Structure 1
Amino acid sequence: MLRTKQRTAVVVFLLPPLGLYLLAVVGPILYSLVLSLFEWDGLSDMRFVGLDNYRQMLFSDDIFWTATGHGLVYLAVSLFFQLVVALMLANLLTYISRGRELVKTVYLLPAIVSTVAIALMFRRIYSLEPLGLVNAALGAVGLDVLQRPFLSDLDTVLVAVSAPEGWRFAGLYMLILYAALIAVPKELEEAARLDGASEWRVFTQIRFPYIRPVFLTTAIMAATYSLRGFDIPYLLTNGGPGHASELLTTYMYKTAFTNTDFGYASTLSVFIVLQCIVAVALILGVRRTGRDAS
């Protein structure tokens, strides 16, 4: 009788969020998958084209492959900030005794600031005329030769639009990793220090292995969000100059709402979903390999 009540309670509490998830997430994905098999401008009748959109994407669309490559660079830059820098900050935060709450608040603030405000701020930071923060700093240390309009220079624009995304959520992931680090048993750390282990060995041999599952979960969150990154790059450059900072998300948006080709835009969206699934599978594979090794 008790088990029956427990099962009923689980069903009652799970059905509303599950229904909402199916409606808000799975439904649009399935609709995009169906729409990718059609040619449609949003007004006229839909025309079934089968896999033609996929053939065009894979074999005829150079912009698609350019945007895919840019997406990998965008992902790498974002993960550097959101995983590497965030982990370093989280580890340093465990050694701070005063002002810890202030530091956490300051680093978390970018995650709750408006995307438009962040884009406008970085447009000013990267500016050459008037002199923005980055160019002013380069001039202050005698590196005037490196000064440039970062958002219009073909060599720097991709990294320039990627960095704000990584910076924005570094504080959020820092807090997640910090929460994992303070849960590491202190007895293990103290025993290692008594045996003469350096702080680096304590981190690499005790702390990081202990928080590895949390780190990989954080990596899944950061990777999938970065692969879907759109707002800041679109606001900063709209994929320009030319297609120098084009991402699959900005390309998909312009294909749908500028070129009104919703069928092909849906094909691009399906590929973005597949990218996220592959990224999650790879990270889970790393996690499973680590478990087998231990």
Structure 2
Amino acid sequence: MLPNRSRLSVLIFLVPPLLLYGVAVLLPIVQSLFLSFFSWDGISDMEFVGLTNYIHMFTGDTVFWHAFSNSLGYLVICLVLQLGGALIVASLLTSLRRGRNIVKTLYLLPAVISTVAIAFLFQRIYSIDPVGLLNQILGWVGLGNLERAWLSDINSVLAAVSIPEGWRFTGLYMLIIFAALLSVPQELEEAARLDGASRWQVFTKIRFPHIRPVWITTTIMATTYALRGFDIPYLLTNGGPGQSSELLTTYMYKTAFTSTNYGYASTMSVFIVVECLVAVGLIIFTLRRKDEA
């Protein structure tokens, strides 16, 4: 359908990034799939074990299932903070006339801050000795009985490591959703208001249906990033105390580089890839089915 010159232009611009994507993403996935059928410590000869790693992962590794449940909890908290917070802030920004750029910059700032800096920041916020910001605020408002070592308490540590990740990317998704909201035809909203529609009705009947494709894309981005979340939980707790904040990614990393069991770690990496693909399929199926209904 394109003239020859256009086809050549498309190839020139697409081939380099596709090659880079293949080398940086697809090749490691294929290598992980290959290694998952072997037992290998990184030094000695690889020993073919077939499906033994997969059988052990699904039937004989309780830590794996604990890490899997933690990953789902981590995902839920991140999605609530990132998508819920982004949608609320973006909706409020559409009615803000002054200082809009300042607010957008402030919300986007965490996304460009170093992960290590964010981890150190929240270590100080959660600290019990010396008393961190969170415990100080609880004391100021008369809730001192709730003060605790947030990163050492098994009842709070999963939420504590999830909140920094949710806070980190809220601004990025807010900008995406805000841009989508700006594309909503104003005449439709004005006509609905003249007909007596409330703000909630304008949002649910006009705004959100219009931005649904962007919402699907944003949900996929947030979900896959959360399922692959590693750096902040690892820096804050290293999966502890016990396995209270152990995620599939941190467990996979420690299996590979601490236990030097690269075959089994590759098996878990394959599971994470499949998990992300299944999550993307469920998101597309669910949201498009609602759209058709």
For normalisation by structure 2, the TM-score amounts to 0.98
Residues 216-255 of structure 1: matches in 2 within 5 Å? 216-255=216-255
Tell me whether 188-197 or 61-70 shows the greater mean CA deviation. Answer: 188-197
**Cα distance in 1 for residues equivalent to 2:113 and 2:5:** 44
Aligned partners of 1:87 and 1:177 also within 8 Å: yes
C-alpha displacement of 1:290: 3.3
C-alpha displacement of 1:284: 1.1
Write the letter of the residue equivalent to 1:178: F
Deviations 1:61-98 (A, max 9, x none): 00000000000000000001110111000000111111
C-alpha displacement of 1:2: 6.8
Report the counterpart of residue 147 of structure 2 in structure 1: 147
**Cα distance in 1 for residues equivalent to 2:122 and 2:17:** 37
Report the counterpart of residue 169 of structure 2 in structure 1: 169
Tell me whether 197-206 or 51-60 shows the greater mean CA deviation. Answer: 197-206
Give yes or no for the alignment of 1:285 onto 2:285.
Answer: yes
Identity %: 64
Aligned partners of 1:40 and 1:47 also within 8 Å: yes
Aligned alpha-carbon RMSD (Å) = 1.2
**Cα distance in 2 for residues equivalent to 1:288 and 1:190:** 27
Give yes or no for the alignment of 1:20 onto 2:20.
Answer: yes
Residues 1-294 of structure 1: matches in 2 within 5 Å? 3-293=3-293
**Cα distance in 2 for residues equivalent to 1:94 and 1:166:** 22
- What secondary structure is seen at the aligned counterpart in 2 of 1:244? coil
Shift in CA distance, 291/202, structure 1 to aligned 2, threshold 3 Å = closer
**Cα distance in 2 for residues equivalent to 1:9 and 1:123:** 50
Structure 1 residues not aligned, in runs of 5+: none
C-alpha displacement of 1:8: 2.6
**Cα distance in 1 for residues equivalent to 2:117 and 2:7:** 47
**Cα distance in 2 for residues equivalent to 1:27 and 1:41:** 20
C-alpha displacement of 1:236: 0.1
C-alpha displacement of 1:292: 2.4
Structure 2 residues not aligned, in runs of 5+: none
Tell me whether 17-26 or 272-281 shows the greater mean CA deviation. Answer: 17-26
**Cα distance in 2 for residues equivalent to 1:288 and 1:162:** 28
**Cα distance in 2 for residues equivalent to 1:2 and 1:112:** 39
**Cα distance in 2 for residues equivalent to 1:2 and 1:117:** 48
Write the letter of the residue equivalent to 1:288: R
Write the letter of the residue equivalent to 1:253: Y
Moved over 6 A (4+): none
- What secondary structure is seen at the aligned counterpart in 1 of 2:3? helix
- Between the two proteins, the alignment pairs up a number of residues equal to 293
C-alpha displacement of 1:20: 1.3
**Cα distance in 2 for residues equivalent to 1:72 and 1:100:** 34
Aligned partners of 1:37 and 1:51 also within 8 Å: yes
